[in-house]
Structure 1
């Protein structure tokens, strides 16, 4: 699906927001829900952010280790998307994270 269909948000410090969500996930304060869909939709909002690679790896490792408790093994991107949806409720109601 062409990126032109997506609304790109560039005016926020997304890196800090995502890293905050990662830290809350790693401390058990945030449990991302399983997404309703796995593929991009036309009404998604795209947020581009570069995050700390070590933190991203720690999130992926934690998700794999705690998959049974979480009842799924989210990727670091899915954790970031779930956190942003939880915190900011974008108008479209869905969010995708790209690098």
Structure 2
């Protein structure tokens, strides 16, 4: 499910870049419903394993974050929050980029 969350972060980053190319700034951008709807979900009840959010939004910067929820298989995920910013820098709350981003 972490790989799914990473994929959603990358898709959201593509959206942000399209927004920037049209508006010459990230300011005013919001996460597309598409990114939120594709966050990995439990098929039995539809609850999300990760919540996708947008922060540090300025004219030239943003940070996308996938936050694992405290239920299901992601509870024990040692990487914690995954992040991706406007420069393409990948991050994680714990662990290493090599271990957490594949």
TM-score range, shorter chain: under 0.3
| TM-score normalised over the length of structure 1 | 0.28
Q: TM-score, normalised by structure 2?
A: 0.27
More helix per residue: 1 or 2?
Answer: 1
More strand by share: 2
